[in-house]
């Protein structure tokens, strides 16, 4: 009877200096995996952090656009109640600046755009309906929106149109 046959099934043969040949491949496999989890975490954490910062950055830009959109709508409502085009432009600029400051959006530059046609509806007489279109632009620094110290700016634009009451009083 040979020694291998005498050991029977499920038994391991000892070789050399006390190592077990059946455990040898599994043990070397475990030794090869040592530290793999730490490397995976070291690679994944910065990647997940960048994704999170990207989501926050996109949300902040969207928030700035939403604030400008709401302020532009309020500016168009204020301009629609003005007596004339010049007063309408002034009211729109005042309301836009006040609303953006109240919302906490720090614009480096704010403009109320539009030529005579945008505020031309205000020059119509009583009984004639018209519209006022306010186009506003806000330039915001990326440092204020995203990360302090980040160079650059982003320009956000919004448009709002308001119907002028045909029977409003003139000259107020």
Three-state DSSP string of the chain: CCHHHHHCCCCCCEECCCEECCCHHHHHHHHHHCCHHHHHHHHHHHHHHHHHHHHHHHHHHHHHHHHHHHHHHHHHHHHHCCCCHHHHHHHHHHHHHHHHHHHCCCCCEEEEECCHHHHHHHHCCCCCCEEEEEEEEEEEEHHHHCCCCCCCEEEEEEEEEEEECCCCCCCC
Say if 157 falls within a structural domain.
Answer: yes
Residue 98 pLDDT: 93
pTM, full prediction = 0.68
pLDDT digits (tens, 9 = 90+) for 131-141: 888 889 999 88
Say if 11 falls within a structural domain.
Answer: no
pLDDT digits (tens, 9 = 90+) for 20-70: 555 556 555 665 677 778 888 888 999 999 999 889 888 988 999 999 999
Say if 42 falls within a structural domain.
Answer: yes
Say if 170 falls within a structural domain.
Answer: no
**Structural domains counted in the chain:** 1
Say if 111 falls within a structural domain.
Answer: yes
Say if 18 falls within a structural domain.
Answer: no
Provide mean pLDDT across the span 71-88: 87
Say if 5 falls within a structural domain.
Answer: no
Q: What domain range is 103 assigned to? A: 29-164
């Amino acid at each position: 009877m040979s020694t291998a046959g005498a050991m029977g099934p499920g038994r391991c043969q000892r070789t050399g200096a006390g190592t077990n040949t059946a455990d040898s491949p599994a043990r070397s496999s475990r030794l090869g995996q040592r530290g793999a989890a730490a490397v995976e975490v070291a690679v994944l954490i910065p990647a997940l952090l960048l994704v999170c910062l990207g989501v926050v950055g996109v949300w902040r830009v969207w928030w700035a656009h939403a604030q400008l959109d709401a302020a532009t709508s309020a500016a168009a409502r204020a301009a629609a109640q003005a007596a004339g085009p010049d007063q309408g432009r002034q009211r729109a600029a005042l309301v836009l600046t006040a609303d953006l400051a109240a919302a906490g959006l720090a614009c480096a530059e704010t403009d109320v755009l539009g030529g005579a046609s945008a505020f031309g509806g205000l020059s119509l007489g009583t009984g004639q309906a018209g519209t006022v279109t306010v186009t506003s632009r806000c330039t915001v620094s990326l440092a204020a929106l995203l990360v302090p110290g980040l160079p650059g700016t982003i320009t956000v634009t919004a448009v709002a149109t308001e119907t002028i009451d045909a029977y409003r009083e003139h000259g107020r």
